[in-house]
Amino acid sequence: MINTITQTQAIGKYLRLSPQKTRRILNQIRGKNYQEAELILEFMPYKPCKVIKKILESAGNNALNLKYEKRDLIIQQAFANEGPKLKRFQPRAQGRAFKIQKPTCHITIQLALK
């Protein structure tokens, strides 16, 4: 069977992570091969790493469905877009309230053949 599709992707939406902090990690793995990126995410001490690793594994498994080997894949694109902000209020002195915006993000990881 000959596959005409040479790239697969996985998307995580509405994740309770900061897009800026997530982009910092995605910049580290962009352009790396699949196994190297998985190893990097395993040992980085940041909260988004666990979620990014799950999305990367999902993209790898999507490639397996197309009969590709994980060792032949590289991360072609990895980016985080802003999602909707959760709006909350913190009560303050004398009846005031401060606005708190809790960010969400959408992470997309796209794999391609070497």
Residue 76 lies in a domain: yes
Q: What CATH number has the domain bearing residue 30?
A: 3.90.470.10
Domain count, the chain: 1
Beta bridge partners of 81: 106
Residue 77 lies in a domain: yes
Residue 2 lies in a domain: no
Question: What number is the average pLDDT over the span 32-51?
Answer: 95
Residue 105 lies in a domain: yes
Residue 60 lies in a domain: yes
18 burial level (CB within 10 Å; 0-12, 13-18, 19+): middle
- pTM metric for this prediction: 0.89
The 10s digit of each residue's pLDDT in 51-109 is 999 999 999 999 999 889 988 999 999 999 999 999 999 999 999 999 999 999 999 99
Residue 54 lies in a domain: yes
Residue 19 lies in a domain: yes
Q: Which domain holds residue 75?
A: 7-113
Residue 78 lies in a domain: yes
Which pLDDT score is estimated for 36?
A: 95
The 10s digit of each residue's pLDDT in 18-39 is 999 999 999 999 999 999 999 9
- Return d(Cα 37, Cα 60) in angstroms, integer: 11
